[in-house]
Amino acid sequence: MQIASSRVFLWVIKKYAALALSAIRQQGVFQGASQLAAQWSFDRRHGLSAFLPREIRHEEGEPGFRLADAVQYQGVDPVLALDVLKRLPMGLRSDATFVDYGCGKGRGLAVGILAGFRQLIGVEVSRDLAALAGQNLETLRLRHPGVHLEIQTMDATRFQPPEGPLVVFLYNPFVGLTLERVVQRLAHHATRWPVHVVYINPRGRAAFLDHGFQQRAAWPDSQALIFEAGVVSEAFQLGCLGHRLTSVSSSLLEPGQILR
């Protein structure tokens, strides 16, 4: 048993070392280090402990959970995520329910709160990660007393979104049949209410297009996409999402929102 645990540990170390080297090759040492520093600073400022990655393990309470579809937890880049969410109209952010599928340790939910969402739900299959998310978000709960936040520990395929408009947040939490079933449920929801999807590291883009979602915006290198389906308000149609973005601007960030 001890030997097996050691092998798993070494495999995880090797895996994340390879990912780090790949990121350095793509972004360069300075940009990669700056991004990590920004994430660390964001967590420190908002009372989070969400920096380190975590593998997803099979959960005994979820017999139908497809471990092969799960992607390891890694905290989303808060600068990018907040820039994307700030592109959505304020009316949508105040009225829609923000649903973070695979919320992990809660950094995406934290960004949702800072972007102005008042109703937020995190969906996480891992009981350990869900518990950490709840602890991480206590500081922001106190700072934003008007926000209603809940974390549901379950397989994403079993989650039934609440009635009303949705803003769905995905940081590539799962792939395969799990993603397909989630998109099917969202497409059904869109027959009654508008659904907007903010998809960062969008490995499953085709699943949304196949189910009638329209792509409204893309960030450079397709690192983030925005999809929509259902009845869309005129205000949203006249917003800034009707064209392809060619650069990620920080002009929409509030002063001191990320770093100070």
193-210 pLDDT tens trace? 999 999 999 999 999 999
Tally Cβ neighbours within 10 Å of residue 63. 8
- Give the SS3 label for residue 27: helix
Q: How many CA atoms lie within 13 A of 198 on its CB side?
A: 25
pLDDT of residue 174: 95
Q: Can you read off the two tokens belonging to residue 37?
A: 């520093």
Ranges in the chain, pLDDT < 50: 1-6, 8-9, 11-13, 15-16, 19-20, 233-235, 237-260
Q: Distance between CA 81 and CA 79 in Å, rounded?
A: 6
Residue ranges of domains in the chain, CATH in brackets: 1-260 (3.40.50.150)
The predicted-structure confidence for 20-73, as pLDDT tens digits, reads as follows 455 556 555 556 567 677 878 888 888 888 777 776 776 655 777 887 888 887
pLDDT of residue 68: 85
Report the length, in residues, of the chain: 260
